[in-house]
């Protein structure tokens, strides 16, 4: 199926055709009126690159050093919740594709496959994403499991003290309203996608969020997951809580959810090892700056002091190059790999990464850059 896809947009169309409506809306949607979701894509696409010629670009180096490891591409798979519902044991499939492509994979706290399940299936460490929630005993146990499983970096997501309202999830029946009836709606939507129903609905079980089993049990439904999450986001977190995490995690800690230079400075001063410039994919504060608009000022503030990662609106290798030119050291993709996973599992993610690599190579050659290190604002057209 993935062989016919030429772009992330193609994968999106394939995902929409294969997934039940409520799952596609969860991947595809943002918060409120989705202003920031749209800005992420539009602002990045509007950035013009400067074409250069006669530069000898016969040999290109796409390797990137980050947190002591050399990656084959300046790209990683960012955390995407519930991705084990997009394909059978989806986190494992995506992690395998990332490992084969020589890029990092980030496992969401809200994954279907648990940390231990993913670790059993991989020969290389992966990154773990963590939310700061009220249940600190749960967090402590999760960090211990991550350490024992060899997770090599921690993505600490800090932009969810409360959850933004996502209208699409209410309308589709995923975020369960008080009136009920959503389970039957989800069942009907699943029945309309027999391929998914057989592959994931029947043969992809268990469907629980594996990392939450210690607090919810194995047989909890979506109502239990969303209820626990809503009750456990911690609006009281401060920078002082980073010290609590540091005491329990020896590897790199990357603060995800930075949009303001002052917060970037704070991350540096409190000992973070990296930051991710991110608005949570347009799924939190609607009307916030796009990642592409926020990135240059943050890069000016802390570049060289701490690695800067970025996500939001990245749909191609050209977008990766744009983000690097704006000041990022590394780029995370989210929806792009989720669409590809939904379209064709591990093969889809592998194919998507090959397309992105080819697009990065073309953009580098046509802007006269021989290595990732040469990509900077000089390649941006005024």
Q: Which of 19, 31, 71, 126 is nearest to 340 (CA)?
A: 19
331: Cβ contacts below 8 Å, ≥ 6 apart: 74, 75, 76, 309, 310, 311, 314, 319, 320, 323, 324
Distance between CA atoms of residues 71 and 87, nearest Å:
26
Distance, CA of 233 to CA of 188 (rounded, Å): 31
* Strand bridging mode 69-71 / 64-66: antiparallel
* Catalytic pick among 69, 270, 280, 351: 280
Instruction: Reply yes or no on whether 280 is catalytic.
Output: yes
d(CA 57, CA 79): 34
The residues annotated as belonging to the active site are 280
């Amino acid at each position: 199926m993935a062989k016919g896809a030429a772009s992330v947009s193609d994968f999106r169309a394939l995902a929409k055709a294969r997934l039940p409506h409520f799952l596609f809306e969860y991947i595809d949607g943002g918060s409120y009126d989705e202003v920031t979701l749209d800005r992420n894509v539009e602002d990045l696409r509007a950035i013009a690159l400067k074409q250069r010629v006669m530069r000898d670009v016969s040999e290109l180096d796409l390797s990137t050093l980050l947190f002591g490891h050399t990656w084959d591409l300046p790209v990683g798979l960012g955390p995407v919740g519930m991705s084990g519902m997009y394909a059978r044991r989806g986190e494992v499939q995506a992690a395998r594709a990332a490992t084969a492509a020589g890029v990092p994979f980030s496992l969401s706290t809200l994954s279907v496959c648990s940390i231990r399940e993913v670790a059993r299936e991989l020969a290389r460490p992966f990154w773990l994403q963590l939310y700061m929630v009220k249940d600190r005993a749960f967090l402590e146990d999760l960090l211990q499991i991550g350490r024992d499983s060899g997770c090599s970096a921690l993505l600490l997501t800090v932009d969810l003290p409360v959850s933004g309202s996502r209208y699409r999830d209410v309308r589709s029946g995923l975020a369960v309203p008080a009136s009920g009836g959503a389970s039957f709606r989800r069942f009907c939507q699943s029945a309309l996608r027999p391929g998914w129903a057989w592959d994931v609905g029947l043969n992809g079980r268990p469907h629980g969020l594996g990392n939450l089993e210690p607090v919810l049990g194995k047989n909890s439904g979506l109502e239990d997951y969303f209820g626990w999450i809503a009750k456990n986001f911690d609006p009281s977190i401060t920078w002082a809580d980073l010290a609590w995490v540091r005491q329990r995690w020896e590897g790199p800690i990357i603060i995800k959810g930075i949009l303001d230079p002052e917060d970037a400075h704070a991350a540096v001063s409190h000992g973070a090892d990296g930051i991710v410039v991110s608005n949570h994919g347009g799924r939190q504060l609607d009307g916030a700056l796009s990642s592409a608009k926020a990135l240059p000022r943050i890069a000016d503030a802390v570049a060289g002091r701490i690695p800067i990662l970025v996500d939001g609106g990245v749909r191609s290798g050209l977008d990766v190059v744009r983000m690097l030119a704006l000041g990022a050291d590394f780029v995370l993709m989210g929806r792009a790999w989720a669409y590809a996973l939904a379209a064709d599992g591990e093969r889809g993610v592998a194919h998507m990464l090959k397309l992105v690599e080819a697009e990065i190579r073309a953009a580098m050659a046509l802007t006269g850059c021989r290595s990732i290190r040469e990509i900077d604002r000089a390649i941006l057209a005024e």
